[in-house]
Amino acid sequence: MSSQLMNNEYINNPLSADCENCFGLCCVALPYAKSADFAFDKDGGTPCQNLQSNYRCGIHKKLRTKGFRGCAVYECFGAGQKVSQVTYDGNDWRDNPELAKEMFDVFPIMQQLHEMLCYLNEALSLEAAQPIYNELKIALEDTENLTSLSPKLIIDLNVPAHRKKVNDLLLQTSELVRAKVSHKKNKNQKQQIKSRRGSDFIGANLRGADLRGEDLRGALLIASDLREADLRVSDLIGADLRDANLSGANLTGSIFFTQAQVNSAKGDINTKLPPALTIPEHWIKRGK
């Protein structure tokens, strides 16, 4: 396949993982430790033993049952194919070992930039964000320009500084969107969720909770019970929903909520998701 054709395919799907046009970068560049999410330890820069010669995962359809749930919920936001087919113009690390370390260093930085692009694109699609549309558009263009830099310049980027600028705009977007939500909570609920951003709700009983318009950025909702909870128009950026039970929950209009977060949670066919997200296969199997 020619580099030009691969680049065209990348352009058609820029912010979603396209493993067919990636050199298995997430399976090589990233480290992980043996845990509930990974069956064994792996150092960064070392190919996973499940990675095949064609850069496909040998157990892709069995990741959960084989102990690799962490892989099943990972999202590169299209950084894999961008690095493989654009930054390195289709030159892979196996045939060009001198590029390997640099490519593996570039990939996680590109992943962060693409994640920001994903959120900025979503912000620009929200009617409530119109007052800061120009600022969001400039931030999007600046971030896109950073993804087109040479490998050495990408490695030298001050990503935290750029992320702060983007995050300030995303916070403003969140406030504009959530300001349109009006509701009352009973006394018990108000006490239960009085501190939300970055809060620890691990294993919490939030079944049926009215969380409309709430700021749940970075909240730890691991294994929480969110069955039948109302999460409409909530901000879920960075929220950890691993094993959270979203069965019957309503997440319509929630913002900065990704497919990876959905995939990490539990739910059922009665869970209402934003239109861009889909019910994972393991939710359907779980309900049978």
Question: For each successive 10 residues of the chain (288 residues), what is the average pLDDT?
Answer: 43 81 97 94 96 94 92 94 97 97 98 98 97 98 98 98 98 95 55 64 96 95 98 97 97 97 96 95 75
Same domain, 164 and 65: yes
Predicted model pTM:
0.88
Q: What is the largest CA-CA distance in the chain?
A: 64
Q: What is the DSSP string of 111-174?
A: HHHHHHHHHHHHHHT-GGGGGGHHHHHHHHHHHHHHHTS-HHHHHT--HHHHHHHHHHHHHHHH
Same domain, 266 and 140: no
> Which amino acid would we find at residue 192?
Q
Q: Nearest CA to 212 among 171, 268, 251?
A: 251
In the chain, the number of structural domains is 2
Same domain, 41 and 102: yes
Same domain, 29 and 67: yes
Query: The CATH number of the domain where 244 resides is what?
Result: 2.160.20.80
CB 251 within 8 A of CB 231: yes
* Residue-level pLDDT at 180: 84
Same domain, 222 and 240: yes
User: CA-CA distance, 123 to 66, in Å (whole number)?
Assistant: 37
Query: Three-state DSSP class for 174?
Result: helix
Same domain, 129 and 217: no
Same domain, 131 and 264: no
Domain that holds residue 101: 3-177
Same domain, 109 and 170: yes
* Residue-level pLDDT at 226: 98
* Residue-level pLDDT at 288: 55
Torsion sign across C-alpha atoms 163, 111, 201, 277: positive
